[in-house]
Amino acid sequence: MARRRTLYVETLIRADLDAVWRLTQEPRPHQRWDLRFTSIDYLPKESEDAEQHFRYAVRVLGLEVGGVGVSVGERVKPDGSRTSALRFSSAHPLSLIRSGAGYWRYVPTGDGVRFLTGYGYRPGWGRLGALADLPFRRLMGWGTAWSFDRLRLWLERGVTPEESLRHALADAGTRLAVCAAAWATAPTVLAAALTLGALLAPPLPSTPAARRCRRTPPDRRSSTAPATLSTLEHP
């Protein structure tokens, strides 16, 4: 069986805990800011306290790749934090991810809400999947961090996910234009320096950037999955 791949992303959002919870737990706003999903649909629950089953999909090169999942949220904890645990799987032949599990943790602080995730997955496609997962895992980590910063901008600055995407595309276009102009007109050493500067220059405050997020857990507790994950059924 393929080894589970783990990822960790964390950001600080200066917003109300209830607002962070709502935009991350409700399907419609969630699919707007999270780059990893095109659609998320909750299925009917048997009771208010029952686990939440859902369907998800992402569009890849014009094709929709879908899967199913189950989640449960824990809203009341002694320290004021909240957690959400989930399991997911996909039988779609184009999905590199076959199954996975993870959690979101919401930790109130004096500066805002520490919003963090830890999740792992098992790739499919056999030996080819193991090779494809090397760049894919980096892409997933980047996409998660970029999406977290996109959510932060929405809550802190009122920049909608649609606006932040336009800002990101304009930012990428500007950087590419600078690089192209440098290599077309400047000597090699200067062109290389200008390219490095264009790539490393910080984005505008209204533009989402994965680099603003923490990618390694600061302590053991942050990277420890909630107990609810161990009892969550497999979808």
Provide the pLDDT confidence category of residue 5 given band limits of 50, 70 and 90.
low
Q: What does the block give as tokens for 79? A: 């320290």
- The answer to whether the beta carbons of residues 23 and 30 sit under 8 Å apart is yes
156: helix, coil or strand?
helix
Helices (H) and strands (E) in the chain, counts: 6, 7
**For residue 232, what are the CA distances in angstroms to 113, 150, 165, 224?**
25, 29, 34, 16
**For residue 109, what are the CA distances in angstroms to 13, 79, 80, 106?**
10, 11, 10, 10
Cα(108)–Cα(175) distance, rounded to whole angstroms? 36
The answer to pTM > 0.95 is no
- The answer to whether the beta carbons of residues 122 and 5 sit under 8 Å apart is yes
Q: DSSP secondary-structure letter at 202?
A: P
- The answer to whether the beta carbons of residues 43 and 53 sit under 8 Å apart is yes
Summarised one tens digit per residue, pLDDT across range 128-172 is: 988 999 999 999 999 999 999 999 999 999 999 999 999 999 999
Provide mean pLDDT across the span 50-79: 88
Provide mean pLDDT across the span 192-206: 95
According to DSSP, the residues that pair with 13 across neighbouring strands are: 113
User: Residue written as tokens 């990822």?
Assistant: 7
Q: What does the block give as tokens for 151? A: 């959510």
Cα(10)–Cα(222) distance, rounded to whole angstroms? 9
